[in-house]
């Protein structure tokens, strides 16, 4: 089983994020976890993501942001992918708008898995072809396929 199969679920993908600012985008994207038993406290999860963003932007450049939290309210690794066709102001390191937001959450006891998944996600999203195909994706199925068949 592929690493993305375990954590990237169709319900956790938003193609066509409407938000244009980063905190609004975080609210919009983390709402996919509201009914997911993987998070015991969705409000705390969102709060931790916002607090992390206030310390330092997770906009890593090239149209990508990878907000992440590593906390006790998370029961299993979770991943949400949001695609914005118009771009989101995210205070990215390169000053460019973000088109791909990948929200990662991991239980506090899984430090090693958190770092491994964060690294794999960052590597995958640094691939120009992957970024272009994700931004062009029109359906959830296309996004899943891109993750499944791209190597990182």
4: its two tokens: 């993305």
> Mean pLDDT over all residues of the chain?
92
| pTM as predicted | 0.94
Asked if 72 contacts 4 with a C-beta cutoff of 8 angstroms, the reply is no
Q: What are the angstrom distances between the C-alpha of 68 and each of 1, 30, 31, 57, 133?
A: 23, 11, 15, 11, 23
pLDDT at 152 over 60: no
Count of domains observed in the chain: 1
The per-residue pLDDT for range 103-150, each reduced to its tens digit, is 999 998 888 888 898 899 989 999 999 999 999 999 999 999 999 888
Q: In terms of residue numbers, what domain contains 131? A: 3-149
Please give the backbone phi and psi of residue 84, each rounded to the nearest 5 degrees, phi first. Answer: -115, 120
Give the pLDDT band of residue 1 (cuts 50, 70, 90): very low
pLDDT at 31 over 70: yes
Give the CATH number of the domain where residue 133 resides: 3.40.930.10
Q: What is the pLDDT of residue 151?
A: 62
Q: What is the mean pLDDT of residues 74-81?
A: 94
């Amino acid at each position: 089983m592929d690493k993305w199969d375990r954590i990237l679920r169709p319900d956790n993908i938003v193609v066509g994020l409407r938000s244009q600012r980063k905190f609004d985008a975080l609210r919009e994207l983390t709402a996919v976890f509201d009914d997911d038993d993987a998070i015991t406290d969705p409000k705390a999860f969102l709060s931790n993501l916002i607090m992390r963003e206030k310390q330092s932007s997770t906009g890593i450049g090239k149209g990508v942001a990878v907000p992440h939290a590593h906390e006790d309210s998370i029961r299993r690794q979770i991943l949400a992918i949001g695609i914005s066709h118009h771009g989101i102001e995210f205070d990215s390191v390169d000053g460019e708008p973000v088109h791909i937001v990948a929200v990662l959450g991991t239980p506090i006891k899984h430090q090693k898995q958190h770092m491994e998944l964060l690294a794999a996600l960052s590597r995958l999203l640094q691939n120009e072809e992957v970024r272009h195909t994700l931004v062009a994706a029109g359906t959830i199925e296309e996004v899943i396929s891109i993750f499944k068949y791209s190597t990182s």
